[in-house]
A and B are shown apart, each in its own frame.
Chain A
Amino acid sequence: MQKQKIDRRDFIRITSLSSGSLAIGFLVPGFRSLDLPAEDCEFFQPNAYIKIDKKGKVTIFFSKQESGQGVDTALPMIVAEEMDVDFRDVKAAIAPFGSVRRGEHDTGGSQSIMEMYTPLRKAGAIAKAMLISAAANQWKVKPSSCAADKGEVVNTITMQRIPYGELVCAAAALPVPKEVSLKNPKDFTLIGKSEKRSNLKDILTGKAQYGLDLKVEGMVYAVSERCPVLGGKLVSVDDTAARRVPGVIKVVSYTGTGAPMHVRAGVAVIATNIWSAMKARKLLGITWDEGDKNKESTEALFKTFAEKAVQAPQIKVFEKGDTGKNAGAVQMTASYAAPFLAHATLEPVNFIASVKAEGCELWGGLQLPDWAVNTIASDCGIKKENIKVNLALMGGAFGRRLHFDFAIEAVKIAQQVDKPVKLLWERTDDVQFEPYRPANYHQLTAGTDEKGNIIAWQHHVLGTPVAYMTDGPNNPHPEEMDGADGGFCYDVPNIKTGYTPVPFNINRGWLRSVDICVNTFPVESFIDEIAARFKRDPYEFRISMLENRPDFKTGEGPGSFTQSPKRVAGVLKLAAEKIGWKEKRKPNHFIGLATHSFIFAKSYAAHAIEIEILGPKKFRITRVVGAIDCGLVINPDGLLNQMQGGLAFALTQALKGEITISNSRVLQDGFFSYELLRYDEMPPVEIYWVDSQEDPGGVGEVGLPTVAPALCNALAAAGYRPRSLPIRNEGFSWV
């Protein structure tokens, strides 16, 4: 057992909630709460709480939203473990917006387990200690004569038992203990065992209610026609034909917004049903003023990237040693590129807004609702204290619902009609107007000795940064360099990396695995190219630069992380061993490897991908081995699901995912032109994890970054070297 002191500022009994139950509130230290001034912390307001009712059922109210990543299952497992209750008696629920401290609802960055593991264990242990004390008082024995077992307190002398539910009222009157004991992880009986998702039955019977399924009394429906060029304005609209469509109530227009969300100017059709609105939308006659940024193209953008790539980076990011003086005897250089990408959640974004004189009520899936409320307040002229948000289950997020452009639109439309409005983005809207993963380009230069040992490493990243959109083009730190900054894990004495931002008139946002995915593709490809040039085994080559390097800090102060090259090597070893790297290959079969650290989620992953070459540039993926080290594994089934699904997500990007732009317009308009990986393209996959007692890291994004480089390294072993994604553009085909 581990004794833990409890700081009264961090855990409290919430009397306002504890009528007929025991409620314990606590503060989950997240990014935002760390920024709070000290005086705000004096008046303790929790950002999460657990509540135990008279039937012994436990609910965790927390500020992390479920979108398929499995927090609704893994987090209850942690509480159930420390409380000694049946996992099925613990449920997770989103804390109603406004019931916890403002600014704390934040789902993203694979942070949920990392942030909540210790607070949830302590909250569970506190609840258990208070229930034991309540039972001990009733029996008039010492708490040390009592134990917890399967949702009951046991008197270890008389073997009498009292269920938790019968003790909650007495426990709610007791003080929070000053110290509790946490279990020794080796005594865990639940953490580390697979549990199926807790809301499975609702999903499987069609009862799960996503944002798009919600219905509000008196609700009407809207779809919107948007200016084809970002930043353009509405000149005129002829809605005569549209208004004649049966069911149409009204046609309204709204202006665009600037940073952070860049809502486009639009014309919305409001109707009694969505079908009427969709039909009428097609009959609108609109004249737009496109503005002067209507000639952007991705073709020109990549030419600009290539020109600027050979110049010095605009922003210096990381420097170690001296790459000028110590250039190495042999010089190598290569450039890599990847396109804009759309999130393409299967549930397209949608939102319900009701605006009345006294305030505004909202319904929908948002990963950062506080940011949404603040921005809606300023963009739409509504007092933020008068905005009520009802958070909904999300049919996929992947970072799309960190943005809330659609929510601002819904409010702007609802301000012009006296009923609640549900705004739907049709699939074409979803693919054509979203905040895209930035296009990017990389110039890599290495100097080596005669044996290929890397003396100097330079990485120039060029991109269209998200920060230029969310914060405006004057942001001095737009760089997207995770994986290519101070955390670069290979042991190279001289390193120089930098970033060049290129303005481009299309909205951008964060996509699952963000810049780590962007930068791991060129890094892991180039490492492989160096190994190949010197006929070094790409596995041994990597291990030689990782295995003996001690852990190091990536920088100073907040925002710096500990990088562990040994763990980067560890997952590579596991992947290589499981795929049989050292064994003889079958004819026409080739294996590629890649490894990385997903540094801000404190997890590490590698992939080994085997392909069979079937003809010129034609291949089949015959085997994929993924290896992950995310510290202590809470729910192995959840881990497997994220790694298996992450593979599919990453293969879409590697093989065919691409948004192209001409005349500032996105050329793709749905799943026929923006294709996702399909059932018949899913290769056989095996996932392994490192048995670890390190504190748990995140998992949701970790399985993506090494997929594309491992696949490209396999193709390189077969005699090809794709340097741009998706590889379909380089003439590859697959079965």
Chain B
Amino acid sequence: MPIFNLNINNKSYSVEAESDMPLLWVLRDLLGLTGTKYGCGVASCGACTVIMDGNAVYSCQRQVGACVNKKITTIEGLSEDGSHPVQQAWQKAGVPQCGYCQPGQMMAAAALLAKNKQPGEDMITAAMSDNLCRCGTYHRIKAAIHIAIEDINK
């Protein structure tokens, strides 16, 4: 099996995998980074969202072979201690219920805010509408994003 060198959360990893294995399963099952969640495997729920070279992407749709030389950030790398403004905002708004989709939600929000510190409502809606939450925490996700915007613009 081929070996791939990956840059994840500013660390170098060397993984042996079939080249078509989605990044999602590389992260979860080979590297033990289980914060990135499986929800559908077909780009319909956003639970597996990670940040790759600054963009929010579905890790279920990226084959490991296409992830070399990319800068990948997962929820574990957003901050280890929960200090990232998005995590802080999620904490303040008390967003999670079951919490399963929230790593993906936060990665989508973090990618948006890294690109645009003051996104308008339409941009927020566009960035967040592909991430499903069955517990229905959308009301608080919205509140949390506004808390984060305020925080990073202080």
Contacts and interface: CB of A to CB of B under 8 A. Distances in A.
Interface in A335-352: 344-348
A213 B136 CA distance: 22
A212 B21 contact: no
Interface string A391-419: 00011111000000000000000000000
Interface in A677-714: 677-680, 682, 685
A102 interface: no
Contact of A678 (B34, B87, B132): B132
Contacts of A210: 37, 100
Contacts of B1: 246
A565 interface: no
Contacts of B116: none
A209 interface: yes
A648 B18 contact: no
From B28, B32, B78, B136, residue with most partner A Cβ within 10 Å: B136
B18 A275 contact: yes
A649 B134 contact: yes
The B interface, classified by DSSP as helix, strand, loop or mixed, is loop
B32 A346 contact: no
Given A70-B97, A671-B40, A206 B134 contact: no
Interface in A449-495: none
Contact of A427 (B30, B41, B97): B41
Contacts of A68: 96-99, 135
A204 B37 contact: no
Contacts of A648: 133, 135-139
B30 A273 contact: yes
A206 B100 contact: no
A200 B96 contact: yes
B146 to A, nearest CB: 14
Given A68-B135, A246-B1, A679 B125 contact: yes
Given A67-B98, A273-B25, A205 B136 contact: no
A630 interface: no
Contact of B134 (A203, A345, A641, A679): A345
A637 interface: yes
Contacts of A679: 125, 128-129, 131, 133, 138, 141-142
A276 interface: yes
Nearest to A395: B100
Given A273-B29, A396-B98, A678-B129, A644 B140 contact: yes
A680 to B, nearest CB: 4
Of the listed residues B29, B47, B74, the one surrounded by the most CB atoms of chain A closer than 10 A to its CB is B29
Given A273-B29, A275-B25, A670-B40, A344 B134 contact: yes
Interface in A265-294: 273-276, 278-279
B38 to A, nearest CB: 7
A397 B97 CA distance: 11
Given A206-B75, A395-B37, A676-B132, A346 B25 contact: no
Interface in B96-141: 96-103, 106, 125, 128-141
Nearest to B125: A680
Contacts of A334: none
B36 interface: yes
Given A204-B82, A347-B37, A679-B125, A670 B100 contact: no
A647 B103 CA distance: 22
A396 B75 contact: no
Contacts of B20: 275, 279
B21 A273 contact: yes
B81 to A, nearest CB: 7
Nearest to A637: B94
Contacts of B149: none
Interface string A209-222: 11011010000010
A246 B18 contact: yes
B22 A275 contact: yes
Contacts of A200: 90-91, 94, 96
Contacts of B40: 427, 670-671
B125 A427 contact: no
Interface string B37-48: 111111011010
Contacts of A676: 132, 134
Nearest to B44: A671
Nearest to A213: B34
Contacts of A213: 28, 34
B131 to A, nearest CB: 7
B108 to A, nearest CB: 10
A644 B42 CA distance: 28
Which of A204, A648, A671 has the most CB atoms of chain B within a 10 A radius of its CB?
A204
A375 interface: no
B41 A426 contact: yes
Given A70-B97, A679-B141, A247 B79 contact: no
Given A209-B34, A275-B25, A647-B136, A670 B44 contact: yes
Contacts of A427: 39-42, 44-45
B100 A346 contact: yes
Contacts of A649: 134-136
- Which of A247, A398, A642, A671: most chain B Cβ within 10 A? A671
Contacts of A273: 21, 25, 29-30
Nearest to A219: B29
14 contacts: A68-B135, A70-B97, A205-B78, A213-B34, A221-B29, A275-B18, A276-B18, A347-B37, A396-B100, A398-B134, A637-B94, A644-B137, A648-B135, A682-B136
Enumerate the 4 nearest inter-chain pairs by beta-carbon distance, A residue then B residue, closest first: A206-B35, A648-B136, A68-B98, A395-B100
Interface of B: 1, 18, 20-22, 25, 28-30, 32-42, 44-45, 47, 74-76, 78-82, 87, 90-91, 94, 96-103, 106, 125, 128-142
Given A205-B35, A344-B134, 11 more contacts: A197-B96, A205-B81, A205-B87, A276-B18, A346-B39, A397-B98, A427-B44, A645-B136, A646-B136, A649-B135, A680-B129
Interface of A: 67-70, 196-197, 199-201, 203-210, 212-213, 215, 221, 246-247, 273-276, 278-279, 344-348, 394-398, 424, 426-427, 637, 641-642, 644-649, 670-672, 676-680, 682, 685
